[in-house]
Homo-oligomer: A and B are copies of this chain.
Amino acid sequence: MSSITVIGSGNMARGIGARAVAADYDLQILDRDANKAAALAEELGAGEAGAVGDALTGEIVVLAVPFEAASEIVSLYAGALDRKVLVDITNPVDFSTFAGLTVPVDTSGAQEIAKAAPTGTRVVKAFNTTFAGPLVNGEVDGEVLDVLMAGDDDDAKATLAAFVEAAGLRPIDVGGLSMAHWLEGLGLINMAVAAESGNWGRIIKFLG
């Protein structure tokens, strides 16, 4: 059976966890506080809960934590990640202005996370342009969410795309990991528009 580990227990962990349940994937939820992981598993009605540091059971590992916390988790697991698809969903946004990112202009959060991981770790940027609320239902106004992905390893993207489709969503491959810079910019645009309108329930959809 296909399997996924979600690290984190916040809104995005809830959204992706709900999609994992819909996809009928084996779900592992890890948090620094194992009680929070257990609470999310109970809410979702599925999932094996544990603490960050426990062995990873998912073939896909989703970093559903703030960008600032991601590199430390990657360093902690190190070599255990080399057979995984490591999914970076973070938005390194300046939340005081919604007008820029907190990473240098010549890189991206995803590329920085890849640098923190052992050479060859297969990092895919995805789910940073989908808000947590719409992820729970998987659709808005009858349209399924588009999940934009960037990564250098085609097999890793195919593994993630299979999860996305099983979860009832549509994967869209936008290119190599360097395109994560632009996906993070789209995450910023998405948040800037949401902060201005107060509507955090929108999805970005390619129509036609």
Contact = CB atoms under 8 A, between A and B. Distances in A.
Contact of A186 (B106, B182, B192, B205): B182
A206 B201 CA distance: 10
Contacts of A141: 207-208
Contact of A174 (B173, B174, B183, B192): B192
Interface residues of A, number: 36
Contacts of A99: 175-176, 178-179
A105 to B, nearest CB: 5
A98 interface: yes
A205 B208 CA distance: 10
What does DSSP make chain A's interface, helix, strand, loop or mixed? mixed
Interface of A: 98-100, 105-106, 134, 140-141, 143, 148, 172-176, 178-179, 181-183, 185-186, 188-189, 192-193, 196, 199, 201-208
Contact of A202 (B100, B174, B186, B208): B208
Contact of A207 (B105, B179, B186, B203): B203
Contacts of A172: 193
26 contacts: A99-B176, A105-B105, A134-B208, A141-B207, A141-B208, A143-B207, A148-B189, A172-B193, A173-B196, A174-B192, A179-B189, A182-B182, A182-B185, A182-B186, A182-B188, A183-B189, A185-B185, A186-B186, A186-B189, A202-B207, A202-B208, A203-B206, A203-B207, A204-B205, A204-B207, A205-B207
B181 A185 contact: yes
